Chains A and B, each alone.
Chain A
Amino acid sequence: MKAMESATSQPQEPVRFGTHPSRYHHWKLSFDGSVARLVMAVDDQHALRDGYVLKLNSYDLGVDIELADAVQRLRFEHPEVHAIVVSSGTDNCFCAGANIYMLGSSTHAFKVNFCKFTNETRLYLEDAFSHSGQTYVAALNGVASGGGYELALACEEIYLQDDASSAVSFPETPLLAVLPGTGGLTRLVDKRKVRRDLADVFSTLAEGVRGKRAKDWGLVEDVFPKSKFEAEVKKRAAAIVAAASPKTGGPAFELAQVVPERRDEGGKLVSLYRHVELTIDTVHRLATLLVRGPTGAAPKSSEELRSQGNDTWHLRAFRELDDALLDLRFNHPTVGLIVLKTAGDPAKVREHDEALIELQKDWLGREILFHTARVLRRLDLTARSLFATIEPGSCFVGSLFEISIAADRSYLLASDAENAPKLGLSAVNFGSFPMSNGLTRLQTRFLAKPAHVDALRACEDLLDHEEALRLGLVTFAPDDIDWEDDVRIAIEERASLSPDALTGMEANLRFAGPETMETKIFARLSAWQNWIFQRPNAVGERGALTMYGRPERPEFDWRRT
C-alpha cells in the first residue's frame, strides 16, 4: 500500500526542542533564594507557525517547549529551589490554554503529538514534586481557562485571585466540543478528588467558577483578594521552602545544548549525536535508532560526576535519545516503525549503571536516574512500532536493556560465537525506571509471574540466547540463517499495517497492569480526545472547532454513539 499523504500539506520548518532561558520568548524565569518564579508572558507575535496569534497568554508547542526546558533546568541547575510559583505576566488573564486557531489549523497527527508533549511536560511538574522536592504553586492572577487551568492542576497547590472576575474554567466542551485533554478531566477527579457531580457542572460551565465557590468545590486551595494576593502566595512559597530539606551532593552545572549533526544521505536522513544515531529511511518509512554505550570510566564520586557534568554518559545519551524521539514524533510523522539498536561494551553499561546507583545519595545522581526514567517513558509513549534487534556488538544491559523491553517485540541473534549478543540486567531494572503504570517494565512483562521478576534479580551474568529466551527476556532468537528473513519480513509486514490500528493496538498492549493517573491521561483521556478530534462535531465542516471564530455557528450530529 502506498502512503496516501504526508502529514503536512506543505513543507515546513522542522520543530526543534533545544532552547535556553536567554532565548525564551514566552516565559520569564527568575529566582529569589529557594523560590523560583515562572511567569508566563506569551509574546503573541512569536507563534511557532504562521496563521495564528497567541492572544490572551494562549500557548502553542513553542510555548510548551520553553516550559519543558525551564522545568528540566530547574531540576538540574537549581537544586536550591524548593518552590516554583507559576503566574502570568498578563493582567486579568493567567492563561487561556492551547491556542484554538493553532489547533484548528493543525493536522490530526500534529494535534495528537502536541497534546502528548504538553501532557508529558505537565507530568514533569508533578515528577519534580514527587522526586526532587520542587513544589509547583499556581498563582492564578487572572482567568485560567482550559489548558490554563490544566497547567494549574499540574501544580501541587492552586491559589486564585478573588476579584469578582478571575475564574477557573473548562470551556472546551461547551464552547469547542472537545475535552480538556491535557490531563484536566483526570486531575480534577483523580488528583484533586473533586466530587464527580460538581466536576460535571464545572466542566460544562463555560464561564467557570470563581471566588469562594472555587475553593468550596476543591478547584483551588484558596482565594485571596488582589491586594493581598502576592503577599499570600509568597507566604505559601516561604512555608514550602521552610519545610523542605536541602539537597546534598554538590553544586549544579548548566545543561548544554544537545544538537546532532544532520546529514541527508540520499533517501536516508541521518542525525548523528555523540551517543545516538538516528537514521530515517523515508522510502520504507523506517527509522533506526542506535544508542551507543559508554566508553569512558564511570563517575565514582560526586566530584567525578560533576567533572563529567554534561558528558556523563547517562545524561548525555538519554538527552540525545529524548531529542531523537521528539524529532521522530514531530518531524517524521510517516515513519511507522523504529528499530532499536545498541552498540558498545556491556560491562561498561553495567559499570555506569552501578556507579549511578551508588551516587543516589547525591541529588545529581538521582536527577540523572529520574531523567533516564522520563526518557524511557517517552519511548513507551511514542506511537510507533518499536522492534529491538539484538545483534553482535550490542550492549542491551541495565539501562539499555530497558530499551529492548520497552519495545513491542525483540529479536536476538542466536549464536554461539565469541561475539554472540547477550543481554544483561542490573539493579536499575528493578525499580529505577518505572513506567506510567507505576510498575517496572519487567513487572509489567511478567504480570502473571511476579515471583519470576524477583528471581531475575539473581541474574548477575550476561545472558545468552537460550537463557534470554527461557527467561522471557526476548521475543525471538533466530539464528544467522533465519535472521535476515525473519527480521526483514517482520519489519516489512509491520510497516504494511494500518498506522491507526497499530497505534491503538500497541498502546493497549504496552500498559498492562494497574491504572494510574498517568495511564488514565495517556490512555483514557487522550484516546477519547483523539477520537473527538476526528469527529465531525468537532472538526467537520460545521464542527465547533472548525467554526470557532468564524461567522457561522457550529452544527452537531445529535446521534450519540
Chain B
Amino acid sequence: MSHISSERIPNNVDLGGDRKLQRALEEWQPRFIDWWKEMGPEGFQEDQIYLRTAISVEADGWAHFDYVKMPDYRWGIFLAEPTKDRTIGFGDNYGKPVWDSVPGEHRNALRRLIVTQGDTEPASVEQQRLLGLTCPSLYDLRNLFQVNVEEGRHLWAMVYLLQSYFGRDGREEAEALLERRSGNEDKPRILGAFNEPCRHWLSFFMFTYFTDRDGKYQLLALAESGFDALARTTRFMLTEEAHHMFVGETGIGRIVERTIELMKQNANGDARAEGGIDLGTMQKYVNLWYSVSLDLFGSEISSNAASYFASGLKARAKEDRYADHLALESTMLLDVPNADKTGCEPQEVALRNAMNEVLRGEYVEDSQRGMDKWNRQLEGAGVPFRFTLPSKRFHRASGIYAGLHFDPDGTILSSAEWDAKKDGWLPTEGDEVFVSGLMQRPIYEPGQMAHWIAPPARGIKGRPLDFEYVKRQDG
C-alpha cells in the first residue's frame, strides 16, 4: 500500500482522498514498474540520471531537476488547472457545459480515443529501449531517458483517465496497455508506426521530430474535448511533448551541422567518406518517418472523425482559432485516387468527415518549420542541398492513398516503377547498416560527442556540456 501515496506519486487529483484511484493504482503501479524494468531502457536502470520531474502544475513545479534512478522516478498525475464554467467549444453540443464524467452515450468512443493515445506512450519507450547502448553523448543519453520517463508519465495520464472514469473496463484496458509490446507478433501495439523498430539515433531524432509531433497534434485536438478531464490531462501533457520535439529538431540540426563540417573536410564534399551521415541519406529518413507519421492521423475521409467532432470529443488543434465551430456546412477539397488508379481527382468531402485531414494539414505546416531551419543552416554554409517534405501521398500505409504508389512529388507510379525507384527515396537495408555502423560504440565521457554529430549549443538547465548528465553505475 505504501507505494501509493501523494508523496510517492506527485499529483493534483487528490490521490490521497480518492479510494477508487488508490485501489486501481495499487494493482497497476507494481505492474508498471515491472514493465519498465523489462521493457524500459536496457542497461541503465541502476544509473543516476539528471532528470526533470513534474511535481506540481505551478510554474515552478513542473520542471524540477535532480538525479534519480529511473525505476524510482516519480511518475505523477497532473491535470492542467480547470477553466471555470468551461463549455464545449465545437460540434453538436457546442456551448453546453463540459462533462465532468464520461457520458454513457460516448463511453465507447472516448475509451477508444484514450486507449489509442495511451498505447503509443509505452510503445515508444519499447521502440527506443536499446538506444542507450549506442548513445552519441551523455547529454543525448539523458535526453533519451527524459523522453522515455515522460512517455511513461503520459501513459500514467491515460491510465488515470481509464481507471478513474471507466470502471472495471477501464482498469482492464489499463492492464492491456502494459501487455501489448511494440513489434511483438502476438501482442502488437495498436498503431503501425509504433511497431517499427527505432534502431539507431538518426531514427530516434526523426521519431521525436516527426512522430512525437503527431502526438502534439493529437493532444491539441483532445485538449479541446468536451470531456473535461481528458482536455485538462492532455493540456498538461503538451508541456512535456514540446521537449521531445526539441530533442528531435536540435538532434537533426546537430547532425546537419556536423555533416556540413565533414563535407568541407572532404575534397569531394563526401560526408560519408568522412564518417558522417550524408544529406541524401538523411532525406531518406525524413521521407520514412514523415510518411509513417502521416498515417497516424487516420483516414482522410473518416466517419469516426466526423462522429468524434460532432459529439464534442475531439476537435481541431486550437479550435478557438476557427470561426465556425459546428463545421456542418463546409466542405474540404481532397485529392482522391480515381477508380482506375491512374491518378487523383479533387473530391468535395464534408468538413467533419475530413477532420483527420485538417489536423494532418496543420501537422504538415508545423513539420516544415524544422526543415526550413535545417535548410537555413545549409544555405548559410553554402551547401546547395535542401531538405523537402515528400507529398502526403508518398509511402502511405493507411488512408485513401494506401495500396498505391506515388513518388515524393505525389505522381502516381506503377508497382514496377515504385520497385525500381524506392531505394532512392527510402532507407535501404544498406543505409540501415551504414548508419548503425557509425554508432557502434556509446560515448559515456562527459562532454564528448560521437564523430557524426555536433555538440549542442548549450547544456541542460544551465549546466555545462561536460556535466555528468548520467552517472553510470559501473563507470
Q: In the complex, what residues of B have CB within 8 A of residue A23's CB?
A: none
Chain B residue with Cβ nearest A207: B108
- Distance in Å: Cβ of B307 to nearest Cβ of chain A: 7
Q: Which residues of B contact A553 (CB under 8 A)?
A: 92, 307, 310-311
Q: Which chain A residue has the least Cβ–Cβ distance from B187? A: A164
Cross-chain contact B310 with A551 (CB below 8 angstroms): yes
Decide if B179 touches A549 in the complex (CB within 8 Å): no
User: Please, what's the 1-or-0 string for A191-210, where 1 marks a CB less than 8 Å from any CB in chain B?
Assistant: 00000000000000111000
Task: Report the bound CA distance from A36 to B339 in whole Å.
Answer: 34
Docked-complex contact A549 and B112, CB < 8 angstroms: no
A164 touches B307 (CB 8 A): no
Tell whether, in the assembled complex, residue B186 and residue A551 are in contact, meaning their CB atoms are under 8 Å apart: no
Expressed in whole angstroms, the minimum distance between the Cβ of A557 and any Cβ of chain B is 16
**Chain A residue, CB-CB nearest to B353:** A551
* A225 within 8 A of partner (CB): yes
A165 to B119, CA, bound (A): 12
Is B185's CB under 8 angstroms from A207's CB?
A: no
A55: nearest chain-B partner, CB-CB: B299
* A227 engages B185 (CB within 8 Å): yes
Contact partners of A226 in chain B: CB under 8 A: 185-186
Known: A163-B187, A226-B185. A549 touches B306 (CB 8 A): yes
Known contacts A165-B190, A551-B328; is A207 also within 8 Å of B310 by CB? no
Segment 415-439 of B: residues with Cβ below 8 Å from A: none
CB neighbours (8 Å) of A163 from chain B are: 186-188
Contact partners of B187 in chain A: CB under 8 A:
163-164, 225
In the complex, what's the smallest C-beta–C-beta distance from A113 to chain B, in angstroms? 26
B residues less than 8 Å from A206 (CB atoms): 108
Q: Point out which of B179, B186, B310 has the most chain A C-beta atoms below 10 A from its C-beta.
A: B186
Bound: A226/B176 CA distance, A: 16
A210 nearest CB neighbor, chain B only: B176
A552 and B186 contact, Cβ closer than 8 Å, known pairs A45-B339, A207-B111: no
Given contacts A163-B186, A226-B186, contact A550 B179 (CB under 8 A): no
When C-beta atoms are compared, the residue in chain B nearest to A44 turns out to be B403
Residues of A within 8 A of B353 (CB): 549-551
Q: Does A52 contact B (CB under 8 A)?
A: no
For residue A174, CB closer than 8 A to chain B, the reply is yes
Q: Which chain A residues lie closer than 8 Å to B351 at the CB level?
A: 551
B162 interface residue, CB < 8 Å from A? Answer: no
Whether A548 sits at the interface, judged by CB under 8 Å, is: yes
* A549–B112 CA distance with the chains assembled, in angstroms: 17
For the complex, what is the distance from the CA of A5 to the CA of B352, rounded to whole Å? Answer: 35
Chain B 174-185 interface mask (CB, 8 Å, partner A; 1/0): 001001100001
Asked if A552 contacts B185 (CB within 8 A), the reply is no
Chain A, residues 158-171, CB within 8 Å of chain B (1/0): the string is: 00001111000000
Task: Report the bound CA distance from A161 to B386 in whole Å.
Answer: 47
Given contacts A206-B108, A227-B185, contact A552 B311 (CB under 8 A): no
Q: Is the CB of A164 within 8 A of B179?
A: yes
Q: Which of A396-436 contact B (CB under 8 A)?
A: none
Alpha-carbon separation in the docked complex, A164 to B179 (Å) = 8
| Nearest opposing residue in chain B for A171, CB measure | B108
A551-B327 CB under 8 A given contacts A164-B180, A207-B108, A227-B185: yes
Is there contact, CB below 8 Å, between B328 and A552? yes
Given contacts A551-B328, A551-B351, A551-B352, contact A227 B306 (CB under 8 A): no
Tell me the nearest residue of chain B to A161, going by C-beta: B186
Is B133 part of the contact surface with A, judged by Cβ < 8 Å?
no
| B350: interface (CB < 8 Å) | yes
B368 at the interface (CB under 8 A from A): no
Interface size on A, residues (CB 8 A): 18
| Cβ of A187 to closest chain B Cβ, rounded Å | 24
Q: Is the CB of A552 within 8 A of B111?
A: no
Verify A164–B176 contact, CB threshold 8 A. yes
Contact status A548-B303, CB under 8 Å:
yes
> In whole angstroms, what is the CA distance A552 to B93 when docked?
12
Q: Which residues of B contact A227 (CB under 8 A)?
A: 185-186
1/0 per residue, CB under 8 A from B, across A547-561: the answer is 011111100000000
Cross-chain contact of A225 among B92, B186, B303, B311 (Cβ < 8 A): B186
Within 8 A of A (CB), among B165-205: 176, 179-180, 185-188, 190
Per the 8 Å Cβ criterion, residues 528-556 of A in contact with B are: 548-553
User: Which residues A146-187 have CB closer than 8 A to chain B?
Assistant: 162-165, 174
C-alpha spacing A363/B291, complex, angstroms: 57
A242–B121 alpha-carbon span in the complex (Å): 48
- Residues of A close to B310: CB separation below 8 A: 551-553
B112 near A207 (CB under 8 angstroms)? Answer: yes
CA–CA, A213 to B328, complex, Å? Answer: 40
Q: How far is the CA of A227 from the CA of B176 in the complex (A)?
A: 18
Which residues does chain A contribute within 8 Å of B306, judged by CB atoms?
A: 549-551
Measured in the bound complex, the distance between the Cα atoms of B116 and A207 in whole Å is 13
In Å, the complex CA distance between A206 and B110 comes to: 12
**Residue from B179, B187, B309, B311 whose CB has the most chain A CB atoms within 10 Å:** B187
When distances are taken between beta carbons in the complex, the residues of chain A under 8 Å from B309 are 551
A165 to B186, CA, bound (A): 10
In the docked arrangement, what's the CA distance between A45 and B404, Å? 13
- Chain B residue nearest to A174 (CB atoms) is B108
CB distance from A232 to the nearest CB of B (A): 12
Min CB–CB distance B128 → chain A (angstroms) = 21
Contact of A550 among B111, B176, B311, B350 (CB under 8 A): B350
Chain B residue with the shortest CB-CB distance to A92? B188
Q: Which residues of the other chain, B, contact A548 by a CB distance below 8 angstroms?
A: 303
Enumerate chain B residues within 8 angstroms of A549, measured Cβ to Cβ.
303, 306, 353
Q: What is the minimal beta-carbon distance from A145 to any residue of chain B, in angstroms? A: 13
* Shortest distance from the beta carbon of B424 to any chain A beta carbon, whole Å: 28
Q: Give every chain A residue within 8 A of B339 (Cβ-Cβ).
A: 45
The residue of chain A having its C-beta at the shortest distance from the C-beta of B111 within the complex is A207
Distance in Å from the Cβ of A60 to the closest Cβ of chain B? 17
Q: List B residues 301-315 near A (Cβ within 8 Å).
A: 303, 306-307, 309-311
Within 8 A of A (CB), among B272-318: 303, 306-307, 309-311
In the bound complex, what is the Cα–Cα distance between A162 and B188 (angstroms)? 11
A544 to chain B, nearest CB (A): 11
In the bound complex, residues from chain A placing their C-beta under 8 Å from that of B92 are 552-553
CA distance A164 to B351 in the complex (A): 33
Question: Which A220-270 residues have a C-beta within 8 angstroms of B?
Answer: 225-227
Bound-state CA distance A441–B359 (Å) is 63
Please name the residue on chain A nearest to B349 by beta carbon: A551
A-facing mask of B104-133, CB < 8 A → 1, else 0?
Answer: 000010011000000000000000000000
CA distance A529 to B46 in the complex (A): 62
CB<8 Å pairs between A and B, sample of 9: A164-B179, A174-B108, A206-B108, A225-B187, A550-B350, A551-B310, A551-B352, A552-B328, A553-B307
Top 10 A-B residue pairs of the complex, sorted by shortest distance between their CB atoms: A551-B352, A549-B303, A225-B186, A551-B350, A206-B108, A553-B310, A226-B186, A551-B306, A164-B187, A164-B180
B-side interface residues toward A, CB under 8 Å?
Answer: 92, 108, 111-112, 176, 179-180, 185-188, 190, 303, 306-307, 309-311, 327-328, 339, 350-353
